[in-house]
Structure 1
Amino acid sequence: MTISDGVREPHGATGQPSETGGVRGDGRVETGDADALKGAAAGRSGIHGWLDGVRSTRAGRLTLKIVIGAIGAVLVIGGLIMVPFPGPGWLVVFAGLAVLATEFHWAHRLLEFGKRTLSAWTGWLGRQGWTVKILVVLVAAITATAIVYYGLKLSLHIDLIVEAQKLLTR
Structure 2
Amino acid sequence: MSAFHALGRSARKVVVLIVGVAVVIAGVVLLAAPGPGVLVIIGGLVILATEFAWAQRWLDYVVERAAGATTKVQGSRSGRIMLALSGLALIAAGVVVIVFFSQWIVAGISLIVAGLIGLCTLVPKVQDWIAEKSITGIDDTDDVH
User: How many residues end up aligned between the 2 structures?
Assistant: 88
Deviation (angstroms), 1:64: 0.8
Deviation (angstroms), 1:108: 0.5
Query: Of the two structures, which has the highest relative contact order with CA contacts closer than 8 Å and spacing of 6 or more?
Result: 2
Is there any run of 5+ residues in structure 2 with no aligned partner, and where? 90-145
Tell me what 1:69 maps to: 17
Structure 2 distance, partners of 1:136, 1:122, is: 10
After superposition, give the CA deviation of every residue in 1:142-165 in whole Å (9 maximum; x if it has no partner).
xxxxxxxxxxxxxxxxxxxxxxxx
Tell me what 2:70 maps to: 122
* Aligned residue runs from structure 1 range 1-170, under 5 A: 34=1, 57-129=5-77, 131-134=78-81
Structure 2 distance, partners of 1:74, 1:132, is: 33
Deviation (angstroms), 1:81: 1.0
- Secondary structure (helix, strand or coil) at the match of 1:87 reads coil
Please list every run of at least 4 consecutive aligned residues from structure 1 whose deviation after the TM superposition is greater than 2 angstroms. 131-139
Structure 2 distance, partners of 1:87, 1:102, is: 25
Higher helix share: 2
Structure 2 distance, partners of 1:135, 1:82, is: 21
Output the amino acid matched with 1:97. Answer: L
Structure 2 distance, partners of 1:57, 1:132, is: 52
Is there any run of 5+ residues in structure 1 with no aligned partner, and where? 1-33, 36-55, 142-170
